[in-house]
Structure 1
Amino acid sequence: MKEKREQRGTRRGLCSSLVSCLNLCQGDVTAAKVRSFGIPGKNVIIYGEIIIQVGHGESGPGKAASVWLYSDSNIDPGSGKGKLTQKAILQKGSIDKEMDSSSCAKVLRYEVEFNIEPDFGAPGAVAVKNEHKHEFFLQNMSLQGDNNIVHFECNSWIYPFHLTKQDRVFFPNTCYLPSQTPPALMELRKDELVRLRGNGTGERRKWEQIYDYDYYNDLGVPERSLEYGRPVLGGTQSFPYPRRLRTGRPSNNYDTRSERRLHGWFNTDICVPPDERFSQQKLSEFTTNAVRAAVHFVMPEARAAFNQETSHFESFDQIHQLFVRNTNQPVDEWLLKRLKHELPDDLFKKIKQVIKEKPAKFQLPRIAAGNQFACMGDDEFGRQMLAGTNPTVISSLQNFPPEGSNGVKSSIKQSDIEHNLDGLTITEAMNQWRLFKLDHHDYLMPFLTRINRDEGVCAYASRTLLFLRDDCTLKPVAIELSLPGSLSREEVSRVLRPAHEGTEAALWQLAKAHVAAADSVYHHLASHWLNTHAVVEPFVIATRRKLSAMHPIHRLLEPHFKDTIQVNALARSVLLNAGGILEKILFTGDISMELSSSLYRSWRFDEQSLPADLIKRGFARYNPNQPENIELLFQDYPYGADGLDIWIATKNWVIEYCSYFYEDDASLRSDNEIAEWWSEIRYVGHGDKSNETWWYEMKTVSELIETITTLIWTVSAHHAAISLGQYDYAGYPPNRPSACRKPIPYEGTMEFAELLIDPDKYFLSMLPEKFETALGIAVVDVLSRRLSDEMSLGQQPSLKWIADGRILRMFRSFEDDLEEVKQRIQVRNRDPKLKNRRGKDDSLYELLYPETSVVRSSDGILRSGIPNSISI
């Protein structure tokens, strides 16, 4: 395989202009060290180009910004660092109209010149000083002289010097292991890491490029009232959790372990380091999307709730109207006054601007676009467990009846399901891997008493059993709904079976809605937030603190960590906080993050790899004759089949990349930065799990490869599979409600009478109220949209992202592999035998479609392409 990829890379090669421009070496990764921009006995002019982004209406820094270059080979005896050039002032600024494709920001192109001495060598670093009164977003910088070019991919905000009291230093696109660092850059490398770590004290300011860890101690607002207090997550056996980036705000007067929150319920100004902040363009796009969704979905329902209009849906047409209604109506003055009080000025101005504009168009989610009742069928209910927005929970049934972690066995009996197994016995069906379960029982049961205390909330712990037909579609055969009994370890359970007419059919429909609500909760709190966003943040922090920007692993991971810390900070501020959006829309309410902490107890990094996950859940088995030694038990599992192809292509790329820098295991063990990085991830970032025995020792290159592949998979393909389909599936409330307000009624009760009179009306009255529903739709709309500066898997921000020709050819081979995966997915999607790949709305499964040129629909929602990072 590797020889084939090497041949392919040589055959395709790179365009001749790029090779000559970059003067790329073909073998030794450190060959760039010997490049010289000088000519013996003669000074040389280095020409530079700097790309900067500012908001429309703002001025660029111009002559108020200056840059210096450090030599990579000529040491200044006074500082022990590379020799410095004279400073160069930014000049000849011009608007780049080709790059300035949006109204969100303008892109400025500046020129600089350096007159360097003959023995200067090549630029090994650049220092940037901003003496302008405003910050600016520095995208990149390229330097050229005598057919050599050095590129700096910066993507960071540069704040005024009077705030930072120091210059910003960036390293070029050349990678060095610690032992290979040129002597002239050694001190700079050390200084960089020391500066990034800070001293662990003080409140962080937005201009400080400092990374440290903290607990989730910023979710509660106890000063508002006792009901808004929340436990600190992380650092205790009661509430284990990954660490987050430390902000260091003052303690809360009502709870000294907690940080004081920022003013307002929608404050997006949480401090994150400049390298982690959205660009000017992305921030503007994100804010606009959020405001448009809020104006369309949420504000009309807020007005209706204030005017005491009907709070629940009375017909399916009313749900349909949420999407197609005209919201270009005057907004009540009281609502604007309240928003002005609660929101930052810039956000309030954006809302007023959007209100005046032509209303945004919102399409019906795909699942309801053709037939709003199509999602209600059993076939679609089962299909979405394999190809919906949460396809990572369903597992094969290994024992019957199922038994909970508390030792209580399920109430599902043999007679409940055996007649529905196409002539097989339960034992035969399990032996043939044809019985599956969607289990939302054990983790919910300890919390149900508290959850159901809230008025207007009804939640069950559930088990759903499904049978795999001969055509590989799933048929639900039983749903068990359970509540805690009056005694310890006692449960009150009810088993419902499929029915297609009469009252039994209505009860079955209600049971499926309760299962969907539990699945929605797990999706938001575990599959999406915990298992991607939260668990990855410590890896990002450790990478910044322990791996120099020169380190090849830092360079490899950089695009996969883009914007994650900023997104997580926004989530803590708006979604996860006390009284935040998730507490409003999920039936778990104010214990949502406690539940997430409980689920973290079972998290294992080694089980986050796709092959390990598929084997654990019983969808695959070991086969030494297959790639990755794994074989799917049936091919019509869209998430598993497409995901394995992506995993294998990604791992092949990581194998080649890591093997290029590390000749053997000994070379890895001698890398002190990698050792400190992994130790900090285990013992600090995921410190509550440091004693677990499943952690890799990080002594071999194969362990590093597995770790890096798992990380890239988690932040790219896995996150795409559980994030990008949210609007299409969860955007239509009857398909995936986030809560249920009523129980499954028993015969003889008033609720049962209501059900008999009008089953549809009872079903709709069980869904969340209109305001909470609109809020949930607005959230998944925003979270399903791709923004313009996001890269897809197989893309890099620049052809010059690394100064090594062989690495670039390896990456081209990775692109080729992804193109082959794309072709295989197209073949699968055209195969009529693979029924799980096409929903009732006739849409195809494309959540793991590796399109490197992003395709957008008319509504702006991404339909294909795997984002490189958790950036939304």
Structure 2
Amino acid sequence: MVETAGCCGLLQACCHRHDPQKYIIQGEFEIDRSPWFSLCASGLSVAVRLYSQNMDPTTRKGIESENAYIMGKELERKKHEVLKVPTKVIKFKLKFEVTQDFGIPRAFVVENRDKKHEFFLKSVTLHYIKHPNLEEQKFHFYCSSWVYPITKTGFKRIFFSDQLYLPKKTPEGLVELRKKELQKLQAPRPKGKWNPWDRIYDYDVYNNLGDPENGRLYDRPVLGGSTKFPYPRRLKTGHPNCQHDHSRESGPASCFQFYVPPDERMSYEKLQELKNNFVEALIRFLAPESTLPHLWDRECPDFVNRVAHFFVPKAAISKKDVRFIRSIIDFCRTLKLPSSHGGPSRSDPSEEQDIFEDIISFYADKEVEELDNSDKQRLEKLVPKEILNQVVATLALKRHDVSAQLPSIIAEDKFAWAEDKEFGRQMLAGANPVRIRKWKWQEADVSLLREIIEKMWEYDSESPKHGVLKEMKWNKQNWEALFKEKFNQPQWQDFYKALVNDRVFILDHQYLEKFLTMINGKGVCAYATRTILIAPDSLPVTLQPVGIELSLPGDSPRLVLPQDTLLWEFAKFHVASNDTAYHQLVSHWLQTHAVVEPFIIATRRQLSVMHPIHRLLDPHFKDTLHINALARAIFLNAGGILETLLFTGEYSMELSSHLYKEWRFDKQALPEDLLERGMAKPGVRDEVVSGPMEHVESDKSRNKAATGAEQKKFEVDAEVELVLEDYPYAKDGIEIWTAIETWVTEYCNVFYLNDNDVKEDEEIQEWWNEIKTRGHKDRTEGWYDINTFESLVKALTTLIWITSGLHAAVNFGQYGYGGWPPNRPMLLRKFLPRDGELGEMSYMEIMKFMEEMLPDKFQMKLAIAVMDLLSRHTSDEVNLGQTSPQKEDHKSIIQKKFEEFTKNLKAIERNIKERNKEYLLMNRWGDAKIPYKLLYPDTSKSMPPTSKEKRKHHPEKADINEMGIPNSISI
């Protein structure tokens, strides 16, 4: 609902007579999300003055209008109406007197004279009432900013029109205002506590993760500012230092009370939505189990069979064996099993369940009245007090029936996740598809593959003797000769073909070895792992793992092969656990959230809101500073959620700092990343095109019968050629990347005519310099000079890709894959049994070993709740391709180029739908039947569906869905 308050706004009285020698400009001011009726506290609560783009020759400033006022008397008259019918938006009409030479208004200054209350100025539209040349023209200002009382801020707010200018092309009347606004944002930070109304953008190191005053257990190193612990800079908050350690910053009284500049704070509605989502997730997964039938009771026979077949080949097990296993499981349920990772012991035999049944019961229908006491005690140390209180209060109001949707990985087949080919598929299309690389002819890689081959000989009596391998020189030519002469048995042909066709891959988590002594001393059992996989040279492509190396400091690496049966399954758990930690700390947090934060700070400080690049980037920074601050306060802090859930524990952020040493901005471009990992080869690059393409790619996997307008494709020029055609993240990602690059190129073409325009753009040069020398000061490599049009486009495309496509790919699949903890366990509590031990273990002991190996029940339930929370889209998201930088002028060249960008994204949507139909593209579905849609743009949806709509329209796949690629890292 919109309420309009009318007032002439001229001077201080409605009876003011218009000077016939002056023109009248009428303005409509739209205020949103504010207690606006409080502005009636004074007679003239808000003063507004317009500035022309023309310079006054006398003052050498922009020509000014008279002040106009939002009148308190008019608001007082309507106050009682608003209290009855609340309004979200109110519009004020003001009139300004200007001289005849005033010309086009391009800026205005607002002075909030109310002593207590701020308001959110959404937009302003101005037009002349009578003007011989400009009467039909409207002048738009998209403010979207909080205006605080001048008694608090000490200065007036400046707003500029929707028109964009490079610095050297700024109209004369706006030059001083432009510089003045940037100087305010760059001014030295004030001493003392910062206030909510302060607009301060400054850099700081990560010195606020620990709480040393609470004891040594909560002390954490300062990240950033040293060669030992390099890190991107964060937003400075102004909180006081710790009393006993002035190098550390003390935290706020509440994790929701930290400083964030007002325009970077998420809306009240979104913050409440996030809190409610957190509460719902905790209730859903941490509530006591109900008396309603569990999934076990409905699916018991099938479940027992599948558990049995998980460990023993189907052909080798009989119905009698199944009955025997069931009796063992029943017996296991009566055992008292102590926790080995700090969790409470189980004392009630009636509560004991098989480990898989125990996990599945998390998702079952249940009735809840209160939170389990043991869970509540552990949550008190992890979850903000107000969130936990809301959980308790919500449960106290009434009995709740809750149920959780099964994660996609087990929605269709509860055991597809355990298959080797699904294990490999997730490296290309799972929650973390950005770590796998191609095997190289280098010493470390070659020696590992050699060990795998040597060990395979132990299982193959017909193969050559060990001496052949030990004496041979390890190069590609000798490999080919060896395979041709000796490895002619069928079981070796896949190796031979993969090697000669360059189709060997590796998932390397060897970097963990230097941390294991510390990590494994904290009650977890972790290895450094390397996994070798091979792929066929034709469709369908399935990555087949052939060996896993597990290393501990001071010990010889242990090599496990698929022939090692149960040991192999346990080794895969350790690989998945390592990959999960890397995903959370590096792929997700460090390489999207953390690295983008300095770019946002530099943009606010160095680029005027009138700068075209500021306007281009602004949608991709929405809410990121606020969400990062929340992450530091709840998830990344000492003793916080991630330290509790991940096996890396208190060394989690230290590990991400170690891996930041490898980070380079120039390698974050998707084509460069794929080339660096060997997952693509250089292609022949054509000139970037801007329009939606109708060319149907020559792709052996495509449906050749596809015809008609609905089958138009988005053509991707061959900047890179994928090594694996069925690599869903890379295939979809390259199309998204190319569409972004095309859009950025066309946008920048409007403002930059040549390389000199880039070099002479002082704001861009200062922006880039500050990013390198302050925001990412600890990383001196990987930065190219932005002195050409091409380098500017590459930098902007990379930045937009990180905030949109990359973040979507590594964030929104978390519940779909990690919501089933055995698929991606966050920690493990057991090392692999020693050689020969498994043969002496009974089935009962094996089941007990697995239960003790996986995280304890509380950790698994909390992990599921966190994955649920992080994977949710929020109601105010704007997807890539939905909002143009030029909002009103539909005839402008920018608007037309943006429409082409949107059409390109729609064509990509069709491409993805087609690829997801192709049965030969196995990695787009897999046995788990999960369509790859994490990079599905979905430009047509203006708002994500509600939870009710999800259940109605997407009942089977709500966690991995078609909800689009959000513009920004806002969750």
Please indicate the TM-score interval, normalised by the length of the shorter structure.
0.7 to 0.9
Q: Is the 8 A contact 1:137 1:280 kept in 2?
A: no
1:250 match: secondary structure: coil
How many angstroms apart in 1 are the aligned matches of 2:779 and 2:450? 31
Q: Percent identity?
A: 42
5 Å matches for 1:55-454?
Answer: 60-63=37-40, 66-75=46-55, 80-89=61-70, 107-117=88-98, 118-130=100-112, 131=114, 133-145=116-128, 146-202=135-191, 203-263=193-253, 267-298=255-286, 300=288, 314-326=354-366, 328-331=368-371, 347=387, 350-352=390-392, 354-355=394-395, 356=397, 358=400, 361-399=403-441, 402-403=444-445, 411-416=451-456, 423-424=492-493, 429-441=498-510, 443-454=511-522
Counterpart AA for 1:126: F
Against the structure 1 CA distance between its residues 689 and 671, is the aligned structure 2 distance closer, same or farther, given a 3 Å change threshold? same
2:538 is equivalent to residue 478 of structure 1: no
1:584 match: secondary structure: helix
Counterpart AA for 2:893: R
- Which stretch shows the higher mean deviation, 591-600 or 777-786? 777-786
Q: Is the 8 A contact 2:287 2:372 kept in 1?
A: no
Counterpart AA for 1:317: E
What is the deviation of 1:831?
1.1
- Which stretch shows the higher mean deviation, 41-50 or 242-251? 41-50
How many angstroms apart in 2 are the aligned matches of 1:348 and 1:780? 18
2:533 is equivalent to residue 533 of structure 1: no
- Which stretch shows the higher mean deviation, 419-428 or 472-481? 419-428
What is the deviation of 1:335?
8.6
How many angstroms apart in 2 are the aligned matches of 1:85 and 1:677? 35
Against the structure 1 CA distance between its residues 697 and 107, is the aligned structure 2 distance closer, same or farther, given a 3 Å change threshold? same
How many angstroms apart in 2 are the aligned matches of 1:583 and 1:822? 38
| 1:361-415 deviations in Å (ceiling 9; x for gaps) | 43111111222222111111111110001000011111376359xx999853445
Number of equivalent positions:
805
Q: Is the 8 A contact 1:60 1:136 kept in 2?
A: no
How many angstroms apart in 2 are the aligned matches of 1:640 and 1:852? 20
Q: Is the 8 A contact 1:93 1:108 kept in 2?
A: no
Q: Is the 8 A contact 2:362 2:404 kept in 1?
A: no
Q: Is the 8 A contact 1:646 1:717 kept in 2?
A: yes
Q: Is the 8 A contact 1:312 1:765 kept in 2?
A: no
How many angstroms apart in 1 are the aligned matches of 2:37 and 2:764? 39
Q: Is the 8 A contact 1:421 1:429 kept in 2?
A: no
Against the structure 1 CA distance between its residues 313 and 197, is the aligned structure 2 distance closer, same or farther, given a 3 Å change threshold? farther
User: Which residue number in structure 1 is paired with residue 711 of structure 2?
Assistant: none
1:510 to 566, 570, 578: 570
Q: Is the 8 A contact 2:439 2:445 kept in 1?
A: no
What is the deviation of 1:804?
7.3
How many angstroms apart in 2 are the aligned matches of 1:754 and 1:594? 38
5 Å matches for 1:738-749?
Answer: 738-747=826-835, 749=837
How many angstroms apart in 2 are the aligned matches of 1:134 and 1:312? 57
User: Which residue number in structure 2 is paired with residue 497 of structure 1?
Assistant: 561
Against the structure 1 CA distance between its residues 309 and 720, is the aligned structure 2 distance closer, same or farther, given a 3 Å change threshold? farther
1:492 match: secondary structure: coil
1:116 match: secondary structure: strand
How many angstroms apart in 2 are the aligned matches of 1:403 and 1:348? 48
How many angstroms apart in 1 are the aligned matches of 2:671 and 2:680? 8
| 1:418-438 deviations in Å (ceiling 9; x for gaps) | 889964475752341211111
2:958 is equivalent to residue 863 of structure 1: no
Q: Is the 8 A contact 2:382 2:641 kept in 1?
A: no
Against the structure 1 CA distance between its residues 360 and 137, is the aligned structure 2 distance closer, same or farther, given a 3 Å change threshold? farther
Q: Is the 8 A contact 1:268 1:570 kept in 2?
A: yes
User: Which residue number in structure 2 is paired with residue 468 of structure 1?
Assistant: 535
Q: Is the 8 A contact 1:506 1:759 kept in 2?
A: no
User: Which residue number in structure 1 is paired with residue 734 of structure 2?
Assistant: 644
What is the deviation of 1:496?
1.1
- Which stretch shows the higher mean deviation, 334-343 or 637-646? 334-343
Against the structure 1 CA distance between its residues 839 and 53, is the aligned structure 2 distance closer, same or farther, given a 3 Å change threshold? farther
Against the structure 1 CA distance between its residues 236 and 326, is the aligned structure 2 distance closer, same or farther, given a 3 Å change threshold? same
What is the deviation of 1:333?
8.7
Q: Is the 8 A contact 1:534 1:568 kept in 2?
A: yes
Q: Is the 8 A contact 1:326 1:359 kept in 2?
A: yes
| 1:5-55 deviations in Å (ceiling 9; x for gaps) | xxxxxxxxxxxxxxxxxxxxxxxxxxxxxxxxx99955224130404025x
2:26 is equivalent to residue 46 of structure 1: yes
How many angstroms apart in 1 are the aligned matches of 2:967 and 2:281? 25
Q: Is the 8 A contact 1:715 1:869 kept in 2?
A: yes
Against the structure 1 CA distance between its residues 314 and 343, is the aligned structure 2 distance closer, same or farther, given a 3 Å change threshold? closer
| 1:339-370 deviations in Å (ceiling 9; x for gaps) | 89998786566445533365554311111122
Counterpart AA for 1:594: E
> TM-score normalised to the size of structure 1?
0.86
How many angstroms apart in 2 are the aligned matches of 1:341 and 1:451? 21
| 1:493-518 deviations in Å (ceiling 9; x for gaps) | 1111114xxxx422211111110000
Q: Is the 8 A contact 1:234 1:241 kept in 2?
A: yes
How many angstroms apart in 2 are the aligned matches of 1:738 and 1:347? 23
Q: Is the 8 A contact 2:438 2:504 kept in 1?
A: yes
Counterpart AA for 2:123: N
Q: Is the 8 A contact 2:816 2:960 kept in 1?
A: no
Q: Is the 8 A contact 2:607 2:767 kept in 1?
A: yes
- Which stretch shows the higher mean deviation, 468-477 or 849-858? 849-858
2:761 is equivalent to residue 674 of structure 1: no
How many angstroms apart in 1 are the aligned matches of 2:377 and 2:649? 27
What is the deviation of 1:136?
4.0
1:687 match: secondary structure: coil
How many angstroms apart in 2 are the aligned matches of 1:409 and 1:476? 12
Q: Is the 8 A contact 2:126 2:139 kept in 1?
A: yes
How many angstroms apart in 1 are the aligned matches of 2:741 and 2:352? 49
How many angstroms apart in 1 are the aligned matches of 2:229 and 2:758? 35
How many angstroms apart in 2 are the aligned matches of 1:321 and 1:712? 41
For the aligned residue pairs, the C-alpha RMSD in angstroms reads 3.3
Give the greater-gyration-radius structure (CA).
2
How many angstroms apart in 2 are the aligned matches of 1:286 and 1:684? 32
Against the structure 1 CA distance between its residues 307 and 201, is the aligned structure 2 distance closer, same or farther, given a 3 Å change threshold? farther
Against the structure 1 CA distance between its residues 414 and 805, is the aligned structure 2 distance closer, same or farther, given a 3 Å change threshold? farther
- Which stretch shows the higher mean deviation, 130-139 or 166-175? 130-139
What is the deviation of 1:823?
1.0
Q: Is the 8 A contact 2:816 2:959 kept in 1?
A: no
Q: Is the 8 A contact 2:813 2:959 kept in 1?
A: no
Counterpart AA for 1:72: S
Runs of at least 5 residues in structure 2 that lack an aligned partner in the other structure? 1-17, 77-81, 129-134, 290-338, 458-482, 687-716
1:257 match: secondary structure: coil
